[in-house]
Every structure is written in C-alpha cells, then in structure tokens.
Structure 1
Amino acid sequence: MPKITDPDLLNDGPTDNGTTEVFIDTATRRIKLNVFGNLSSSGVQNDNGVNLKALYSFLKEEWRNDPHAKNFAGFDFPMTPITDEAFEFVSGWDIESDAARYLIRDAGWTVKNLAGGTTQMWAGIIGLGFIESNDQLYFQQVTGGAAANVQLTGQINQAVQILRDDDGDGIFAEGSDFDRRGYFKIFAREQGQLYGAAQLADIGVTTLAAQAYRFPLSTGADLKITHTDVQIDANSDNTADVAPYAGMSITYHATPQVRSIGGTNRNFGIIINGNNGTAEQIYEFVQWSLRRATDIDADADSLIGKTADELLRFVGDTLKTRSASNPSGGGSGVFIDNYQTVDINRLTFVDNTGAERKRPFVAALTINFGDNLRLDAAAKFWVYFSTLPGAGNDFRGGRGNHRG
C-alpha cells in the first residue's frame, strides 16, 4: 500500500487486537499504529507509513464521532497543529512505541506531559534526490559518534528523535536524557556508487526543531570503481589483503606533514600511502575504507571509516584530494605518497590552507631515430617546447646523448 495521506484510510478498533491501522488507548493515553490493512511498512519510506497530518485529521474525526463509544469527549484532544509538518502531542498523549513512530512520514513533533513539560522532540528527516531502493542510508547525531541505520532501505522519510527529557524538567543530563538538536549528518555509501552526504549546514540550519527537514541526498554509478570488495579484502575481515591494496593506508596526523611541491613546502594533515598503485587503485582503496565500520587510521589514533569525511574525487581522469575533517588535529589537507610516477600529471592535492597544489608538469616521450643517428655513439639530440602556455612560464630545451 502507498503512504496514507487520506484520513479515511485509517480505522480505530474497539479493542487492541491488531486488526485496525490505529488503536486509541484512553487508559494509557497512547496512540498505537498497526501494520495492517491500509498501513504498510513495505518498500521505501516515501511509499509507506502514514502522513502525520492525515493521522491528526483522523483523530479529529474520531473525537467528533466517537464510533466505538470510548468517551473521547472526556479526554483532552491529543494533538495541536503548529504547521502541516509540525505538531505537538499534548496532555500526556503520545505515540505508543518507536516502531509506531517510525511509521510517521512528512513531519516532526513534540511530546508534552500533563504538566506541559516537553519530554520528547522528533524531527522529520526527508531526503531529496535519487537513492536506489536497496541502499542502506545511515546517520550520525553526535560529532564523532556512532552511526545509526535508517529503518528501511531507500530514500529517507523518517522521524529521528532529537531530544529526550523523561521528566520534562528542561535538564538533559539526567539518566537517559539527551539533546541532539545541534548536529545531524546523513550518509549514502554503497559499493560501486558515488557517495552522498548531507548535514545541517547544507540546508542552512544550525539547530533542529520538531518539524520536517529536507536534505539533498543522491547517488549514482561510480565508473572509477571496477573491483568488488573481495578483490580488495579477500576474507572480508576489514583489512585489505590483496595487492596492491594490502600495502595502502590512511593516516590522520596530529601535526602537519610537510611535502615539497615544485620546490615549496606545503602542509598536509592526512596522508594516503598509495603503495605504488594507480590513481584508480588508490581511489578504490580509499572508497572501500570509507565504508568500514572499523578504525581506518593507520597510527595509534582511531577513526571509524564509514563516518569519516570523503578524501578523494575524480574530475574526469584527474584524481583530486579534498579538505577533510581531521580529529587528530594535524590539518585538513590530504596528500598521496607513493603513487605511480606515470600519474603525476593527473593528481591534485588540497593542502591545509584549502588551496589546490599540483606537481610540476612532467613530459615523457619516445623518439625513434634512423640508423645514421642510432649507430653514431657520439650522436646528440635536442627537445624544445613548441608552445608556451603563457607569460611567466620559463621552459628549457632538453638535450640528450644517444646510448646504444
């Protein structure tokens, strides 16, 4: 069944026997949602569950008509609308369980106890963009914290709890209380796909409220990924063990690391050891690492791969590093050591200042000579640039001595 947006598709039952989409329990002031009849949890979240505005409208009809003689008139109405995408459950009313809350779509809400104190806040997280139906998205609510999976695969349309205050006293450091309104980041990282991520800054928000938010999040085929995970990690133990990946590593340094580029020292905080791999192989290793739920930092510090910032991107056939968060403190610049020399002209590095740096251009050529020159042991040849890119660039001709 599709997502319910019409309150006429909801039904309440006289008893809690699971044979209606909704059961309104006046004894506990809880609203239970059952996966039954028109209410489905199958497929992606945009195609199932129930729109919160539709549930609100249904409850209004039930309070007006009271078809099962539950004496609704003797109870405060459960919900207060703020907008079409923001509501409050008031007077001690609440949704019955997390399983039911995860069926709510297109909105956020606040829960208030009988005294009017806020005990819960939930934000409706909606993704905009193409996500394959079997992609497992996940999110982070604390900087450096653990990741949590979205309840279903595919694009997200799910409520996420952002505040818990069991006694409603406004103090969030007690017991199981928490306040997670200040940070949210969602990830899409699947093998063979371009990675996607979105966070509060991407939508111009600094603090989450009990409402719906829409995050730009999409993926697509990554044409630079040509090997499967087992071709990097044969026994699937989260350690690369196939050459050349087995010798590659990523280190997040506590102090800036100096690398000379074109005769000038530049600072970088994150160093990738490419183990003489091609640009594509280095990229594949790094992307594989960034889907690990284990430590990917090669030194004594620890950093979980699946929530670490992306480090590399291809622009055409040019591999570029990115500025990335470095919790060890050595800086956000990313450099690659030990790459194949034939790739030198298609690598670009971002240093700790955020500036892109490239090695001086290296030209390689093969010249075939006739026998007169080839057989002359004292023969010499000269190579010149025929075109200068622009003012301020000085080039020298090359001269070589024939050997053999």
Structure 2
Amino acid sequence: MAAGHGKRGRAGGRDLDRPRREPRRVSPAATGALPLPLKGEGGEAPAGPPARGPFSPRPLLPAAPRTVGEHGGAPRPRPAGQRRAGRGAGRRRARRGGSGGAEAARGRASRVQKMAGSSAPWIGSAYLFLQSTCKTIALPSLYESSQKKPSIFKALKLALADSTGSLNGVDMLKVHCSHPHLIIQLKFCKQENCRRFLRSYREGALQESLQNHLQLSLAVSTVPLEMELKAGSEHLDNMLKDEERCLECIYREKPDRLRDEEITELEECLKSLVLHQNINNNMPAKDCLSPNSLPLPYSSQGSSLSPEVTFIFQEQQFANRTLTLDDHQKFAKLVSKKWKQVGRSLQKNCRALRDPVIDNLALEYDREGLYEQAYQLLLRFIQSEGKKATIARLIAALEENGLTSLSEELLGLHSNEDS
C-alpha cells in the first residue's frame, strides 16, 4: 500500500522506465502528517478522510459558508475592509447631501461674483419678444418689408443703445419674425452692460425709448408695445427683482450663433448714414439705401413749428423751429471743446443724454476728434426728442455755457451784420 501511494505521488515527475525506489520513510512526527491508514480485517480502509503522506497533494479546504443572493446565486461575502470603506463613503455622501439646498441658495451670489472676476470674458444671451398692441401695426410684417426693415432696425439699435448707454453695450445677433412677435436675439459681452439693460427693462425706460424711436421711424402718432424677456426656458419677467438670478440665467445661456449677415449689413449702412449724413443725402439710391428706408431725424427745411412758436434772444424775437442739418453741422464745427458742457445742459430735459451717455460718446469717438463727438451728441438729442428738438432749446443750452457767438451764428445774426 505504501509503494502504490508513492507511485501515485511521483509518477508525473519521473521516467516510467527507470526502476522504482521505495520512498524514504519519514516519521509522522517529523512531517507533522497523520500516519497512513491501515486496512481492516475486510481489506477496506476505515471510514473517514484519507491520511496525508509526505508526497500526497494538499487537500482542498472546505468552502466558507455563503449567503444566498437576491437572484438565487451565492455571491462571496465582501471583505471587511471594503465594507468599512463603503460605509464611510456612504456617510460622507450623506453629510454632503444633507445641506445641498441651503448651500445652493448661499452659492448663487458667489457664482455671479466668480463669473465677474474670472479671466474669461463675461458672455450671455437672451431673447427679447416685441408685440404691438395696435392692430394696424404688425412689427413682423413691417420688418419683412424691404422698405420698412431699415427703419425698424434703426429704432431697435438706438433703443438698445439707450438702455446700456453705449452703441456697443448689447449686440443683436438675429431678428426673427414669428407673428405676432418680433424676436430679437441679444448678446451681452460685459456683465455691467447686462446689468444696465436689466434695470432699464425693469424700470420701463427701454419700452418708452423703443416706442419713441418707432414713432419717429414709422412716422406714426404712437406705437404701443408689449415686451417679454427670456433666457433659455426662464421667463425673466417673473424674477426681475432678483437681478443676480437674472444675470446668472443670461450668463448660462451662451450664444448659439454668430451675427446674422443681414444684421451686419443693416448696421454698416446705419453707421455710414450717421457718420456721413450730408454725403448720403446726395447719393443715388443704387449706391446707398433709399431716403425712405432710413428717414432723417430732421424736418424738411426746418419748417415745422414747435408748441412754443417764438422765443427771445438778445431782446429779439425769433421763430422757434426744429433743428436742421445745417444747424447740426454748424454746432459740430464751432462748439469745440465745450460740447460736453452743452450736453450736460441738454441732459436736464433729455433722457437719452443721461449718464454715462456723454462720457461713452467721448470714448467711442475719441479718435475721430471734437467734430465727430459734438456731431454724435446733437444727433442723439435730435433722434430722441424728434419734433421737440428745437432751436430754442439748443440756444438756451449754448447761452448757459457762454457760447453767445455760436448762438448768433445759428440764428444768422453774423450774416446779417456782414451784409
């Protein structure tokens, strides 16, 4: 029995042709193994597990008891270390999630501050919905008309400039016609400009300015408007009192497009007309927009009279009238460095010249020089006031700043003395 047991243990590692040798007997005490079982009287081994000899394979250990899984399987139990780590992670997640609502409320203002202080430019987007409550004025139809489109665009551009105090404060990317609404996609590149726009919108100044510009552009008595402001799925009209939340919603909505080519063309034509008004008036229609496309802010020959028909200057009575292109050019040429002081005087009764409009004009047209700065100032006054932009109001502002000679030039007193 011992020889057969040794053969079974060493046959895999020796050549079967070699003579077999009896294994060296080692006492069980030396190896720590149990003695070999002995056969009973019937020639059978006694019951129980076989004894392990020095060359016998190591027996398999019994498997640890397993718990039955929820799908009927028997998964191995997770090591104790992993269970402790998992419980710790769960506790950490619970601690983090317990104060989530309060932390979100506290973090809204800090996120807005991070947006303003980050090195990346502050860029946001919103949609302005316009609808006329007058049945005879359909803004989408007017904008789709090739003749009226420049007039509508001009009113939109000037009203948005009034809301931020700068022509570049807010950018129009696209104008959508969706009856009965005219939808303008806006892009803001600075948080401060967006903040000014929101305040102007909340106070109703933007609505009033747009109504006035549309009234002048379309030559109608009144243009009642309804406005709505959206950023993504958020209706900002419902949260206008929470300015920081509105800023966050606008900042979250990034522009999904570049400026439309049509907007670029309309803006270039408007800018060219404003900067070179006297040249464009003599150009044929094929070289520029037709005169009806962008109506001039001046009355024809300055013939229309204001509610105050006359005024007194140097003890003489003069007919009051709206300002003409000739008045505009003389003012820009002769007012020189005092154009800002005259603007401050006109500012008292002209909302379009409120701060910081005058300072922004000085910065925007600094390279063009004093003539262009003064020209843009009076142009803003004329476009905003319409028929109320009279020679009497300009003369009063000039007198207030000691520009008597310029007043005489505008009233034609110098030419009378020369003749």
Shorter-chain TM-score range: under 0.3
- Asked which structure has the greater CA Rg, the reply is 2
Give the structure-2-normalised TM-score. Answer: 0.24
Which structure has more relative contact order (CA 8 Å, sep 6+)? It is: 2
Q: Hey, which of these two has a bigger chunk of helix by percent?
A: 2
